[in-house]
Every structure is written in C-alpha cells, then in structure tokens.
Amino acid sequence: MKKVWDTMMSALVGSNPQAFLDLVLPGSSFVKHHRNKLGISERQPDAIIQARHPIDKEFLFNPEFQTSKEKHIPERLLLYNILLRWEFEHELPVRSEVIYLTKNEQIEQPPLCWPTPGKRNEEESVFDYGNTEMWKKLPEDLISLEHMELLPLLPLTQGGMQREVVEYMFTRLPGEQYRQLATMGFLFAALAFRRARRQGDQEWLERRFSHMHEILRESPAYQWILDEGIEEGIQRGIQQGMQQGMQQGTQQAVINMITARFPELESLARARITAVSNLERLQHLIIDLSITHSQKEMERVLLSLDSDA
C-alpha cells in the first residue's frame, strides 16, 4: 500500500508546506507549492516546495517520505534532483531530503558517493542530501512548532507511542474540522504500534477508532485506503458483491487484496476472511492491512482474526 502513504503525505504537505519547512529546514519560508508531476518525465516526487532562506535565497525543497527501507533511495533522490533542475531550467538549486517515518537502523546515510572512472580511486562523484528520522524527534519538537498538520506525526516520534501522546493528538484534532488529520494520525499510530508489536496498544487503538469511526470514515484518507485496496485486487470482489451480497463481496475484496500482494497466503486468507461475518470489521480490516508491509505481518493479522468478528 505504498501509494496510499505517498498520497497521504503529499496531501499533508500540501495543506501546510510551511510546517514541513519548519520541521526540516528551520528559518526557511514558504514561497510556492508546485504540482508534483514532472512534465518532462512523468515522474512524481512526493512534494515540490519553492522556499526562501536568508542565506541561500530561493530554492526548491523535495521531501520524500519513507515508511520502510528501500533500495536505491539516494539514487532516486538524485534523479529527482536532476529532473527538477531541468524542469526549472537550472534557475533554482534543489534541496533533497528523505523523511523516514518509521525506525530503521540500517538506512543509507548521505552523501551518495561513487567512483569516477579514469581518475584516482580517492576521487569520487558526490551527491549530498538530507535525512530526517522521525523516531529521533521528541513529541514536544513537533508540538512547539504549533502546526496542526504535524500532530498526526506524533506517534512516530521518540516516546510518541505512549497512549497519552496519542490521546493528546486526538483531543487536539476534534470534530469535522480536523477529520482528515485525525484519520492520518490514527493510521500513523496503527503503523507505529504494529511495527513495535505492541498488541495491547493496537487493541486499545482499535477500540478508540471504533468510537471515532463515523467521523473518520468521511475523510479522504479513509477513502484513499479503500480505493487503493480496489486497485490491488478488490474490484473483482466488489463486482461479485453486487450479485452475492455486500458481505460476501467485501470478503472476496479483502482476499483479493491479500493475494495480490502475497499469493502464498491465499488459502489462509480464504479460510480466515470467510469466517468474518461483520461487515464493519471487514472494512476495518482493509485499513489494518494497509499498514502491513511483509508477508509475516500479514500472516499474523490473519491468524489473530476471530471467527465471530
């Protein structure tokens, strides 16, 4: 479900670019938010922000968000850096930054270096970029910046997985006005608890979510997850549901969603999902699966399902 996280972070940055400049590049001020699809290549960075700094004057800021370690992230940043310079005809320098949302001790550190053929071994080509690791920031680091758009990231900070911090986030994002931010905050909290394997906290969050469900389900972020599931294989299940009934169709939708990513789990998924009769639980499960990144995690979710859910 990488696309839904990209969509969510692009929307979050777009709602308040200054918040992310304050988070990563203090002292910089927002000038303009550019569309993030590059016309010359159809590549789509997570965000492109034109900003101004007292020292460097105007520049382009390209933050890329990662929920897990991937290969060749520095090379992808370099590609975006070059394409942005080309797109803007070299008028503005580019600051590239990876913002890691979840903890990983083995991320690649800048700069990116590679040997230059035909020159001495010690001579290398170098591309510098920035790394922001959310788990190294404290909750008060975000709160002190006084941007509501940063509050959904609180569960990702050092100490942010405390229930008191998550509850603080929800109380600061009440009602319809902050429905979108609250949904994002729930998803980040679920991601953090899942990665830390804190079963009790996951169950607490699920209960907390059930009280907020009617509000959160109206947010675009909630719909992005459902739409992403459709793209990963649930469309056939929805179509079957028109003939078989919504419950069976949603069950098939979830099964298709799982097997599209992890074919080896088809038998287990079919056995466990078809035993779940509660439609709302099935819809919650689509969101639950959106934060599951590995086959082992997916298998654990399936085995934890109650047949009478």
> Do residues 150 and 48 both lie within one domain?
no
Most confident range (mean pLDDT) of 10-19, 52-61, 172-181 is 10-19
Mean pLDDT across 31-47: 84
Least Cα distance to 20 among 170, 142, 102 occurs for: 142
Give the end of a domain, one of 151, 182, 216. 216
Asked whether the predicted pLDDT for residue 139 surpasses 50, the reply is: yes
Residue 309: inside a domain, yes or no?
Answer: no
* pLDDT tier, 214 (very low <50, low <70, confident <90, very high otherwise): low
What pTM was estimated for this model as a whole? 0.72
Residue 91: inside a domain, yes or no?
Answer: yes
> Do residues 287 and 261 both lie within one domain?
yes
Structural domain count, the chain: 3
**Cα–Cα distance measured from residue 245 to residue 288, given in angstroms and rounded to the nearest whole number:** 23
The answer to whether 255 and 286 have CB atoms below 8 angstroms apart is no
Asked whether the predicted pLDDT for residue 228 surpasses 70, the reply is: no
Give the end of a domain, one of 100, 116, 135. 135
Q: String of b and e for 273-301 (b: at least 16 CB within 10 Å)?
A: beebeeeebbbbbbbbbbbbbeeebbbeb
Residues paired with 112 in a beta bridge: 127
Mean pLDDT across 122-143: 92
Residue 61: inside a domain, yes or no?
Answer: yes
Please give the pLDDT value at position 307. 52
Residue 42: inside a domain, yes or no?
Answer: yes
Least Cα distance to 143 among 153, 151, 152, 155 occurs for: 151
> Do residues 129 and 15 both lie within one domain?
yes
> Do residues 6 and 131 both lie within one domain?
yes
Domain that holds residue 96: 2-135
Residue 240: inside a domain, yes or no?
Answer: yes
> Do residues 174 and 115 both lie within one domain?
no
Q: Which residues contact 25 (CB under 8 A, 6 or more apart)?
A: 51, 53, 61, 95
**Cα–Cα distance measured from residue 34 to residue 30, given in angstroms and rounded to the nearest whole number:** 11
